[in-house]
Amino acid sequence: MAGRTGGVAREAPNGHHSAMATQADVRRIALSFSGAEEVKGRFAFEIPNKRKLKGFVWVWMERVTPKKPRVANPGVIAVRVANLVDKNLLISSEPTKFFTEPHYDGFPAILVRLAEVKVAELRPLIAEAWRCQAPAEPGTSEKAKRATTKRPKPRRR
């Protein structure tokens, strides 16, 4: 049976990673991308782009009590996406894994429930988030950078 041992994903008998994602997995994946840095004092990751630091994945700051400060929810991360179309597609395709809240209306990011996402599903989400914020290669336009991003094909029914 697949499970977690010391925070390391174990393989299921079929060879697939079936363990659900944790913040340790998010950190390991996010820091594997070139230029990625962890923000000091909070669970967030960013990349330098045009002399600014651009966030690509961070812990969800949930509004637990109205008119009180938001509180970090370690079971949910916010992940940048390329655009609002991708955001809506992900949320509508798997609402148990992905959601949003009014704070993120009109902003290209999704909220991800770590307990619902397998480690193997997390890497492409974070890779896309990193690509959205990473500087373009010299001589590559922003449009060309986006065109190289692989998106999952919609399922036919």
Q: What is the mean pLDDT of residues 117-142?
A: 86
Assigned domain for 141 exists: no
Assigned domain for 145 exists: no
Which residues share a beta bridge with 29?
Answer: none
Assigned domain for 30 exists: yes
Instruction: Specify the pLDDT at position 18.
Output: 59
Q: What is the mean pLDDT of residues 124-137?
A: 93
Could you give the number of structural domains in the chain? 1
Query: What angle do the packed helices 119-133 and 23-30 form, to 10 degrees?
Result: 40
Q: What is the mean pLDDT of residues 133-141?
A: 71
**17-32 tens-digit pLDDT:** 558 999 999 999 999 9
Alpha-carbon distance of 112 to 135, in angstroms, equals 24
Would you state the structure tokens that stand for residue 17, as one six-digit string?
């990673």
**38-74 tens-digit pLDDT:** 999 999 999 999 999 999 999 999 999 999 999 999 9
Assigned domain for 21 exists: yes
Q: What is the mean pLDDT of residues 126-132?
A: 97
CATH of residue 42? 3.90.1150.30
Assigned domain for 143 exists: no
Q: What is the mean pLDDT of residues 122-137?
A: 94
Instruction: Specify the pLDDT at position 19.
Output: 83
Assigned domain for 75 exists: yes
Assigned domain for 120 exists: yes
Domain of residue 101, residue span: 15-136
Instruction: Specify the pLDDT at position 1.
Output: 37
Number of Cβ within 10 Å of residue 115's Cβ equals: 12
Residue 13 has pLDDT above 70, yes or no: no
Instruction: Specify the pLDDT at position 138.
Output: 58
Name the average pLDDT for the chain: 83
Would you state the structure tokens that stand for residue 57, as one six-digit string?
């994945």
Assigned domain for 44 exists: yes
Instruction: Specify the pLDDT at position 148.
Output: 45
List, in order, residues 6 or more apart from 116 with CB less than 8 Å away: 20, 96, 97
Would you state the structure tokens that stand for residue 13, as one six-digit string?
């008998």
